[in-house]
Amino acid sequence: MEFAPLNKWIPLDEGPLVIAGPCSAESEFQVLETARQIATIPQVKVFRAGIWKPRSRPGSFEGIGKIGLSWLNKVKSETGLLTTVEVAKPIHVQEAVEAGIDILWIGARTVVNPFSIQELSESLSGIDIPVMLKNPLNPDIKLWIGAIERLLKTGHTKLAAIHRGFSQFEKSPYRYPPHWEIPIELMRIMPGLPVICDPSHITGNANMVPHIAQQALDLEMQGLMIETHFDPLHALTDAHQQLSPSSLKTLVENLVIRSPKGTFEFERSLMELRHDIDQIDDEIIQLLAKRMDIAKEMGRYKSTHNITILQLRRWKELFADRMLKGQEKGLDNYFLSNLLRLIHEQSIQIQTNVMNEKKDEPNDDPNTKK
């Protein structure tokens, strides 16, 4: 089943789709005032606001609830903006559809649960309304794809994915690190699926939003969902990551919209560079295969001499040496350290397999048989 193109369910001009609005609908005044200011930005087509807010702990502001739907109706009638809200339960779907909401989105905390997604999919069956699905909190592309597939099975083709970053334990400058390779892989596996970026959640910092927004468009994502509040400093939720309408206007006006294709001369030069990369990649694969063959031989040698697989001192020395050489060549530390660890883990696994094979071999030495 093919996905409906974005411009078939949202009226778009040239450039990316921009969805904007507060993290949470807090009051009728706050919603309408934010919408009025946002509506002066031509690139913004959809107004977003959370009215049901799944919070990590009880006691936090969990949204204004159903009453917020009437405020969104006023936004639509007064500004002409389409409206979208997050839904997490079938009752949310029913109330939002009955209220005339134009687009629904399913949040990260819901996408992570296949049972919840199945219930929502069933409640949406037969309802012709676009649905956007945020990535799950954890970096699991299968969960994300599975959620999209459940909606596809109900006949929905007006679907989009929202990339909002992923949780991780490692220290990062981002609230939810983007792990760009995951949405890129999603676009490869599901061609035609519109992917929209949520730089507000990725960064958790309003000052960083423009950079991530530009990076998302450079990676051929088709739109942006940006949290915007007429008075961000006094927002009840996620105050640090929300932009003012004037800041949003500046961001949108400064976006560089790049073409996916260039002139003939550009494409020819690009083909030459891609050819060079293909050759280098082939060499890398050949060298990795050769390295793993040596690792297999090391496993046999260690097994014969009854030596442990992991040589911690050697690994520490190797890691420090390769990191230093990589730094001298200008390689990124994070990239190189992860690459070295992956190679080492595979080498350890190969040596373990060799030792297990040796252990399982029949012993034909009559001197060792009872």
pLDDT digits (tens, 9 = 90+) for 212-224: 999 999 999 999 9
For the chain, residues with pLDDT lower than 50 are 368-370
> Which homologous superfamily does the CATH classification assign to the domain defined by 264-368?
Chorismate mutase (1.20.59.10)
Fold matches, 6-254 and 264-368: no
Q: At 20, list the tokens.
A: 């904007």
Helix intervals (H) in the chain: 28-38, 67-79, 90-98, 108-111, 114-124, 141-153, 181-189, 199-203, 209-218, 245-254, 264-304, 312-328, 333-360
pLDDT of residue 264: 76
Roughly how many angstroms between the first and final C-alpha of the chain, as a whole number? Answer: 65
Q: What is the DSSP string of 203-225?
A: HSSGGGHHHHHHHHHHTT--EEE
- Would you list the domain boundaries of the chain? 6-254, 264-368
Rg over CA atoms, the chain: 26
- Helices 245-254 and 28-38, axial angle in degrees (round to 10): 30
d(CA 275, CA 89): 50
For 6-254, which CATH class? alpha beta
pLDDT of residue 340: 95
d(CA 178, CA 183): 9
Handedness of CA 130, 179, 175, 212 (dihedral sign): negative
pLDDT of residue 214: 95
pTM of the model: 0.79
d(CA 233, CA 56): 21
Q: What angle do CA 333, 339, 341 make, to 5 degrees?
A: 100
The answer to whether residues 276 and 328 touch, using CB atoms and an 8 Å cutoff, is no
Q: At 2, list the tokens.
A: 């093919």
The answer to whether residues 153 and 114 touch, using CB atoms and an 8 Å cutoff, is no
d(CA 27, CA 61): 13
Handedness of CA 189, 195, 201, 203 (dihedral sign): positive
d(CA 19, CA 85): 11
The answer to whether residues 47 and 75 touch, using CB atoms and an 8 Å cutoff, is yes
For residue 124, which phi and psi values (nearest 5 degrees)? -90, -10
